């Protein structure tokens, strides 16, 4: 399966709303640490989606070299719209964190 499908299944809200900081604090006991974990996961998600999008667009270019450019543009637009409809990576990461789906470990200082 593709990453886009995995994140569509999560059914994350696509609008930004306020979050209860107490819930974020409870998981680690340190609000700053929790936010850093969410931010790092958000960067991972964004990188995964970006590389998948570029890979798929590159495949489209190779496959449709012989097809009219209008058709190619429509397919690329359709694919781009799917990615645009996804929730922001920060929202996905926050949901994963609050649901306890993230694994993290503390490094010794």
In the predicted structure, residue 105 carries a pLDDT above the cut 90: no
CB atoms within 10 A of CB 54: 10
Task: Check if the beta carbon of residue 83 is closer than 8 Å to that of residue 49.
Answer: yes
Distance of CA 38 to the CA centre of its chain: 12
Using a cut of 0.95, tell me whether the model's pTM lies above it: no
In the predicted structure, residue 13 carries a pLDDT above the cut 90: no
Residue 30 lies in a domain: yes
| Domain ranges, residue 33 | 19-98
Residue 106 lies in a domain: no
Residue 52 lies in a domain: yes
Residue-wise burial string across 9-18, b where 16 or more C-beta atoms lie within 10 A, e elsewhere: eeebeeeeee
Residue 104 lies in a domain: no
Residue 78 lies in a domain: yes
Residue 4 lies in a domain: no
Distance of CA 24 to the CA centre of its chain: 19
Residue 3 lies in a domain: no
How many Å from the N-terminal Cα to the C-terminal Cα in the chain? 38
Residue 10 lies in a domain: no
Question: What pLDDT does 47 receive?
Answer: 94
Question: How many domains does one find in the chain?
Answer: 1
pLDDT in tens, 82-101: 888 788 889 889 989 998 98
pLDDT in tens, 23-82: 999 989 999 999 999 999 999 999 998 888 888 877 777 655 555 555 556 777 787 788
């Amino acid at each position: 399966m593709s990453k886009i499908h995995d994140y569509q299944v999560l059914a994350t809200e696509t609008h930004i709303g306020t979050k209860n900081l107490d819930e974020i604090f409870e998981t680690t006991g340190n609000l700053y640490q929790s936010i850093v974990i969410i931010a790092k996961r958000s960067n991972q998600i964004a990188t995964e989606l970006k590389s998948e999008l570029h890979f798929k667009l590159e495949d489209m270019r190779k496959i449709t070299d012989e097809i009219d450019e209008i058709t190619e543009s429509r397919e690329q637009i359709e694919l781009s719209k799917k990615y645009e409809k996804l929730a922001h990576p920060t929202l996905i990461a926050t949901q994963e964190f609050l649901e306890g789906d993230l694994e993290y470990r503390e490094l010794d200082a």
